């Protein structure tokens, strides 16, 4: 084996062990990151913008919290279902959640900056629809977690 191949395997093994360690107890790190983001949103948003767009900003933060929970549960499903095709349900839901987070964020900023949605002719915000889709993704990830044989034994 050559040196670059060894480094690739070591890097891949290191990433795999880091993901496994993270999924063992993911919530303290996730909570810390979400708390810092929430404080930054509250402290750094100008008062004029906060006064007008408070509910949109809070809705976007709710979408961010739900997306972070979905990301974590997706990683847990990916690790728990090693060797099973069910693990790809975690990846698929992760992609859908990331897309909803992107679209919800982009649409909210579009409303705040321009006053229109990113969809031409649509007069509402996409934030509620994106949040609903993320909620259903979290439900499907929860169902995938419960399908694991080791989970039923406990």
Q: Is 97 exposed, middle or buried (0-12, 13-18, 19+ CB in 10 A)?
A: buried
| Dihedral class, residue 115 (left if φ above 0, else alpha if ψ from -120 to 50, else beta) | left
pLDDT score for 65: 97
List pLDDT tens digits, range 88-137.
999 999 999 999 999 999 999 999 999 999 998 888 899 999 999 999 99
Looking at residue 56, its pLDDT comes to 95
Return the residue matching tokens 């609903």: 132
Residues 45-99 pLDDT 10s: 999 999 999 999 999 999 999 999 999 999 998 888 888 888 899 999 999 999 9
Retrieve residue 95's tokens: 């992609």
Q: Which residues contact 38 (CB under 8 A, 6 or more apart)?
A: 61
- Please check whether residue 104 is in contact with residue 130, taking contact to mean a CB–CB distance below 8 angstroms: yes
pLDDT at 154 over 60: no
């Amino acid at each position: 084996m050559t040196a670059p191949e060894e480094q690739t395997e070591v890097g891949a093994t290191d990433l795999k062990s880091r993901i496994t360690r993270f999924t063992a107890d993911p919530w303290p790190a996730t909570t810390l990151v979400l708390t810092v983001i929430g404080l930054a949103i509250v402290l750094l948003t100008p008062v004029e913008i906060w006064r007008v767009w408070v509910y949109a900003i809070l809705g976007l933060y709710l979408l961010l919290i739900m997306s972070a929970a979905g990301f974590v549960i997706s990683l847990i499903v990916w690790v728990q279902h090693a060797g099973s095709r069910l693990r790809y349900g975690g990846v698929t839901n992760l992609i859908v959640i990331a897309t909803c987070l992107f679209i919800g964020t982009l649409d909210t900023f579009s409303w705040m900056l321009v006053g229109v949605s990113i969809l031409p002719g649509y007069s509402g915000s996409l934030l509620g629809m994106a949040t609903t889709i993320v909620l259903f993704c979290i439900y499907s990830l929860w169902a995938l977690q419960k399908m694991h044989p080791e989970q039923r034994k406990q």
